[in-house]
């Protein structure tokens, strides 16, 4: 029943029109690490040169088989490889083949996350979470909360429905769907503004028949259930990946200098925490699975904000 309802919600989100125009991503800012150029943009994957961040219009489709972006008006444009390095959150320079995503850790800003792997693959993942209140202090920080999917055996890209603070909207919350980082380039669907207290539904759904282990086409949708606004990547490429690594919830941050840079409280489960609840994970046969989420918390962080997590029937991120 939940699987059918999710597909209906995604279908409605993909058909909504009249969305707001994309806003500008936040630049590296005053707190960026030494060596990161000021003009670089903060993404959920590190600091990227502006030419390596592609903002997709509504209805644009990434066609990996043709190395093109297929536009809603029927025209196409080539996918371009990034000719610039990008930088991890700690300022480490990443070039060449290293542009491919690496195992998540604080080097590219993942503070904590709940994950699970499969010996085969997954065909669908969705989660709900609430938009937290405005952070108590403002130090130019950028915060990201999201579920996601990767190929643990050959990480090339990650697909993510993302909630961000001070990302596309200055000192405000917004949502966007992302696919990163084939050939060093990251792709962002049209973002939308959201408000504290709104419920976000993020979903990644394979567009293949049940039993397809490596589906080439996915719908990534980030939807605000209160205002009806959505950001979506329809029929987006898997870039050859078999998504066997699922993330039920991730906290990723940039330029956090004090614990009050986080929201004072959030989610449904008390102060200074955020719950990814109503998580639905399905295998490649599109049968529901009951994962044993493993919480990973990066040690030695500064500032230390009592990071931690728990995983009853949802992934709860504490800070």
Is residue 183 in some structural domain? Answer: yes
Does residue 22 surpass a pLDDT of 70? no
Distances (CA, A) of 152 to 103, 155, 158: 8, 6, 10
Does residue 288 surpass a pLDDT of 90? yes
Region 20-36: what's the mean pLDDT?
73
Structure tokens at 24: 């500008």
Q: Which domain holds residue 208?
A: 2-21+101-318
Is residue 229 in some structural domain? Answer: yes
* Cβ neighbours around 154 below 10 Å, total: 10
Is residue 26 in some structural domain? Answer: no
pTM: 0.89
Tell me the DSSP string of the chain: -HHHHHHHHHHHHHH---PPPPPPPPBS-TTPPTTS-TT-EEEBTEEE-GGGEEEPPTT-EEETTTTEEE-TTS-EEE-----S-EE-TT--EE-GGGGS--S-SGGGTEEEEEEEE-SS-EEEEEEEEEPPPPBSS-SS-EEEEEEEEE-TTS---EEEEEEEESSSSTTSEEEEEEEE-GGG-EEEPPPEE--TT-EEEEEEEE-S-TT-SS-SEEEEEEEETTT--EEEEEEEE-TT----EEEEEEEEEES--SGGGSBSB-SSSSBTEEEEEEEEEEETTS-EE----EEEE-SS-SS----EEE-SSSEEEE-
Mean pLDDT of the chain: 86
What are 73-116's pLDDT values in tens digits?
A: 889 999 989 999 988 888 888 875 554 555 555 455 899 999 99
Is residue 136 in some structural domain? Answer: yes
Phi, psi of 282 (to 5 degrees): -125, 145
Query: What is the C-alpha separation between 79 and 77, in angstroms, rounded?
Result: 7
Region 251-259: what's the mean pLDDT?
91
Is residue 138 in some structural domain? Answer: yes
CATH number (domain holding residue 162): 2.60.120.700
Would you call the peptide bond into 181 cis, given omega within 30 degrees of 0 as the criterion? yes
Query: What is the C-alpha separation between 43 and 222, in angstroms, rounded?
Result: 16
Is residue 171 in some structural domain? Answer: yes
Is residue 143 in some structural domain? Answer: yes
Q: Are 213 and 154 in contact (CB under 8 A)?
A: no
Is residue 29 in some structural domain? Answer: no
What is the length of the chain? 319
Region 122-146: what's the mean pLDDT?
94
Region 166-181: what's the mean pLDDT?
95
Count up the domains in the chain and report the number: 1
Residue 266's pLDDT is what?
47
Residue 2's pLDDT is what?
52
């Amino acid at each position: 029943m939940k699987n059918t309802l999710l597909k209906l919600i995604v279908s409605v989100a993909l058909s909504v029109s009249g969305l707001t125009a994309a806003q500008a991503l936040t630049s590296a800012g005053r707190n960026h690490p030494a060596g990161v150029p000021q003009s670089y943009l903060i993404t959920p994957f590190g600091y990227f040169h502006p030419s390596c961040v592609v903002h997709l219009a509504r209805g644009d489709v990434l066609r990996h088989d043709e190395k093109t972006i297929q536009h809603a008006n029927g025209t196409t444009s080539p996918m371009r490889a990034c000719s610039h390095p990008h930088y991890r959150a700690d300022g480490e320079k990443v070039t060449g083949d290293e542009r491919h995503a690496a195992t998540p850790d604080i080097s590219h800003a993942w503070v904590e996350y709940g994950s699970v792997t499969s010996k085969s693959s997954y065909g669908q993942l969705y989660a709900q979470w609430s938009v937290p209140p405005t952070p108590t202090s403002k130090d130019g920080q950028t915060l990201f909360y999201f579920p996601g999917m990767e190929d643990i055996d050959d990480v090339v890209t990650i697909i993510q429905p993302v909630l961000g603070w001070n990302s596309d909207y200055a000192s405000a919350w917004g949502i966007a769907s992302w696919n990163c980082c084939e050939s060093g380039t990251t792709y962002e669907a049209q973002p939308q503004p959201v408000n504290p207290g709104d419920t976000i539904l993020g979903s990644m759904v394979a567009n293949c028949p049940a039993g397809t282990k490596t589906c080439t086409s996915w719908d990534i949708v980030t939807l605000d259930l209160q205002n009806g606004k959505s950001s979506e990547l329809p029929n987006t490429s898997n870039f050859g990946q078999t998504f066997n690594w699922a993330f039920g919830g991730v906290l990723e941050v940039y330029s956090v200098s004090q614990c009050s840079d986080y929201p004072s409280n959030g989610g449904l489960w008390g102060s200074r925490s955020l719950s990814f609840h109503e998580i639905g994970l399905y295998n490649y046969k599109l049968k529901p699975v009951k994962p044993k989420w493993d919480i990973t918390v990066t040690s030695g962080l500064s500032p230390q904000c009592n990071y931690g997590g728990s995983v009853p029937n949802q992934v709860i991120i504490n800070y």
